[in-house]
Structure 1
């Protein structure tokens, strides 16, 4: 059963602080900022597919940063994949930037600093998995972080369409096939990245 985190039932003055804490609790320690905390609204819905965590996020504009001090505080050794469902995201890591529009996705490494900037309301699906599950040399993946994968052609289009459908069906996933589904998603990611 997916977990749900939403700010809509909270007083406006409390929403962004709640969101900041929820983002860190859901993923890894992150610094979350917005220029309009008084107008912030956000929602996260997520589930676990074996070792893969899948979270759909819909929120007001904000910026998320994974900094060196936060990494030193907690480094579980995960990769994250952001699949843009709506709006726009600018992902920066390792001196590269990936501008993501709906259907696009990119991989980033939670063991190194990164920034995600959302200038407008957005929706994104975030997959988080232990680095060991990709079964690819870390140097090879490091060369691919913050690189946009188009959701409109090639294997990227196949994986994107599958993940967009997954986001719309998180409530339908039960425990019976969830581990196998997570394994299949990881296999598709490895195929694409290799």
Structure 2
């Protein structure tokens, strides 16, 4: 993974605005509001596995929303597989709400409006998978978004696998990627 932005060397008055611009480009277009602009801290790393991209970010407390306006101007044919590394995240989509703790995994569909609340110290991996590739394996994803992956053996293995991706992403061959 390659760090494309950190607030470490950015003046406090500019931190959130710069972060938001980079996150809108590197993850997906959205609106966001920090709990405190003055103390806001964040970092964004990106990588790839085959044709699938990864974004790993750390952030201070903030709320995020992706609306129909964003979707109309920034269509994507991806599903986000989200794995929480630290902190807490609450996602709402399609009438469902999920609270993610470290190790928890859920799907998020950027083609459907959503809201999120990142609590301070949140670290999240977003694995962007082409919709047709994922749905070819698991069926329609609409019934899976904003719901925690079960804590059974399959769910724990999936979480563990996703937990390794940031450390190996750019070094893996294209054969490992989801096609």
How does the TM-score come out when normalised to structure 2? 0.92
Shift of the alpha carbon at 1:84?
0.5
Structure 2: gaps (5+ residues): none
1:132-143 map, 5 Å: 132-136=132-136, 140-143=140-143
Higher RCO by CA contacts (8 Å cutoff, separation 6 or greater): 2
Instruction: Say which structure is richer in helix.
Output: 1
**Separation of aligned partners in 1, 2:39 and 2:119:** 14
Q: Paired residue for 1:16?
A: 16
1:34 is displaced (CA, Å) by 1.1
Quote the Cα distance in structure 2 between the aligned partners of 1:119 and 1:108.
18
1:154 and 2:149 are equivalent in the alignment: no
Superposed CA RMSD: 2.0
Shift of residue 38, structure 1, vs aligned partner = 1.0
After TM superposition, the score normalised by the length of structure 1 is 0.85
User: How many residues are treated as equivalent by the alignment?
Assistant: 179
Tell me the residue number matched to 1:189.
none
Q: Which runs of 5+ in 1 are unaligned?
A: 187-194
Deviation of residue 95 (structure 1)?
0.2
| Residue correspondence of structure 1 range 31-42 to structure 2 within 5 A | 31-42=31-42
Find 1:173's aligned residue among 167, 170, 179: 170
Residue matched to 1:192: none
Question: Following the alignment from structure 2 to structure 1, what is the Cα–Cα distance between the partners of residues 66 and 139?
Answer: 20
4+ residue stretches of structure 1 with deviation over 4 A? Answer: none
